Amino acid sequence: MFSHRLAPLAGLAVVAALLPLALTNNFLLNIAIVAGFNAIVCVGLNLLIGFAGQISLGHAGFFGLGAYASAVLVSTYGWPPLAALLAGAAAVGGLAFAVAKPILRLKGHYLAMATLGIGIIISIVLKTETKITGGPDGMPVDSFSLLGFAPYGERAWYWIVAALLVLAVWGALNLIDSPAGRALRAVHGAEVAAETLGVDTAGYKVMVFVLSAVMASVTGSLSAHYLGFITPGASDFFRSIELVTMVVFGGMASTFGAVIGAVVLTVLPQLLTSFHDYEAMVLGAILMLTMVFMPKGLVPTLSALIAPRRQV
């Protein structure tokens, strides 16, 4: 069991450790870092969508709230960055908890619309409260520092993101293979049956929603410090859909699928610069084609072809 479970994680760690050798300039490192941030959010989102079978079309809102919490508390009020990050995570966790209970009673399109509504309201607030957030033009963010140490440059940030990604994946794999994780998957598999076996389905849905929201928030905070600047666009509907696309494309109910989906869909647009005008068309096409022809996503579909009957 040990090697079966941890081998892919070790593989990820090795790839992450060796990758900088191939990333020879800051431009490439930057792409890797952004891909890493997206991957962390997607690992959390995948727990919600792929494993628990729920949906969220507003997760970029939580990301944006975390980013702005850090930006505002650090740059405007002079808080230490770590405290701001934790405060943001706590606030987002609290918000997610408050809305989760009534919303996660809903299913299907209703749940999708409710999460969409929350995401859009957050995004509108961030865009409108110009005095606090700088409005549609965004605001600058001071750099991250902890106990005097401040990561400077792409390489430093790369190691931070890589380490956090490996940690996030490890945590997700642990969760999935635990009683709580099985309970979560049972909610997706047959909710009524799970209830009769003692699983507090409502509680677990709330838990995974809050967990994925907090992961998005923390990632948002760090991303804000890395980029040095944030705009409300980081929290808008399109960004939420991008995140869902990454999860869906890479593979729902597959942690590595989420990572791969994030990496592919972050790297691809960057590498094809003339792509930019067609970005929306391609994203839309990917969504449609994936769900019609590869509804389980890239990684599960491939692994079913390569090694049938093996679990990912």
Partner 1 sequence: MQAPMVGERVAPVKPAKFLAPSPQPLSREGRGALSGDAITMGADFLQFLVSGITVGAIYALAGLGFAIIYNASTVINFAQGEFIMIGGMSAATLTAAGLPLPLAILIGCAAAMLGGVLLAKFAIEKARNASVVTLIIITIGASIFLRGLAEVVWGKEFHQLASFSGDTPILVLGAAILPQSLWVIGVALALILVIGFFFTRTLSGKAMLATSYNRLAAQLVGVNVRKVVLAAFALSAALGAVGGAVVTPITFSSSEMGIMLGLKGFTAAVLGGLGNGLGAVVGGLIVGIAEALSAGYLSSAYKDAVAFVIILLVLVFMPNGLFGKRGTERV
Partner 2 sequence: MIDAASPAMMDTLAQAAPAAAERTAPLLRVENLSREFGGVLAIQDLSFTLPKGRIVSIIGPNGAGKTTLFNLITGVYTPTYGRILFDGRDIAGLPPYRLAARGMSRTFQNLQIFFNMSALENVMVGRHLHLDRGVLAALFRLPRLVRKDREARDLAAELMREVGLAKYIDAQASAMPYGALKRLEIARALAAEPKMLLLDEPAAGLNGTESREIDELIKRIAARGITVVLVEHDMKMVMGISDHILALNYGRKLAEGTPGEVSANPDVIAAYLGSMA
Q: CA nearest 51: which of 216, 177, 164, 200?
A: 177
Q: Which residues contact 255 (CB under 8 A, 6 or more apart)?
A: 43, 46, 169, 172, 173, 176
285 interacts with, out of partner 1, partner 2, none, CB within 5 to 8 A per kind: partner 1
Cβ distance 191 to 27 under 8 Å?
no
CA dihedral 179, 306, 43, 22 (to 10 degrees): 140
Q: Which of 277, 305, 306, 310 binds partner 1 (CB under 8 A)?
A: 277
Query: Considering the rule CB under 8 A, would residue 112 count as an interface residue with partner 1?
Result: yes
Q: Which of 14, 17, 285, 304 binds partner 1 (CB under 8 A)?
A: 285
Q: Which of 48, 71, 100, 207 binds partner 2 (CB under 8 A)?
A: 207
Binding mask 178-207 for partner 1 (x = CB under 8 A): --------------x---------------
Please name the residue ranges forming H helices in 148-275: 154-176, 179-189, 191-196, 201-227, 237-250, 255-271
Query: Considering the rule CB under 8 A, would residue 306 count as an interface residue with partner 2?
Result: no
Q: With respect to partner 2, which residue has the nearer C-beta, 32 or 183?
A: 183
DSSP per-residue codes, 156-174: HHHHHHHHHHHHHHHHHHH
3-state SS class at 234: helix
- What is the Cα–Cα distance from 255 to 232, expressed in whole angstroms? 28
DSSP 150: -
Query: Considering the rule CB under 8 A, would residue 102 count as an interface residue with partner 2?
Result: no
- What is the Cα–Cα distance from 22 to 269, expressed in whole angstroms? 19
Q: Which of 117, 171, 203, 233 binds partner 1 (CB under 8 A)?
A: 117
Binding mask 54-73 for partner 2 (x = CB under 8 A): --------------------
309 interacts with, out of partner 1, partner 2, none, CB within 5 to 8 A per kind: partner 2
Cβ distance 218 to 66 under 8 Å?
yes
Q: With respect to partner 1, which residue has the nearer C-beta, 91 or 291?
A: 291
CB of 67 vs partner 1, minimal distance in Å: 20
Q: Cβ of 142: how many Cβ atoms within 10 Å?
A: 18
Q: Which residues contact 186 (CB under 8 A, 6 or more apart)?
A: 193, 194, 197, 199
Q: Which of 114, 172, 210, 243 binds partner 1 (CB under 8 A)?
A: 114
Stretch that binds partner 2, among 56-64, 117-125, 143-151, 167-175 (CB under 8 A): 167-175
Q: With respect to partner 2, which residue has the nearer C-beta, 131 or 310?
A: 310
Stretch that binds partner 1, among 1-9, 24-32, 72-80, 110-118 (CB under 8 A): 110-118
Q: CA nearest 59: which of 209, 184, 204?
A: 209
Query: Considering the rule CB under 8 A, would residue 60 count as an interface residue with partner 1?
Result: no
Q: Categorise residue 112: left if φ over 0, alpha if ψ from -120 to 50, beta otherwise.
A: alpha
Query: Considering the rule CB under 8 A, would residue 128 count as an interface residue with partner 1?
Result: yes
Q: With respect to partner 1, which residue has the nearer C-beta, 20 or 117?
A: 117
Q: Which of residues 150-169 bind partner 1 (CB under 8 A)?
A: none
Task: Catalog residues that contact partner 2 under the rule CB under 8 A.
Answer: 171, 174-175, 177-183, 185-186, 188-190, 192-201, 207, 211, 253, 309, 311
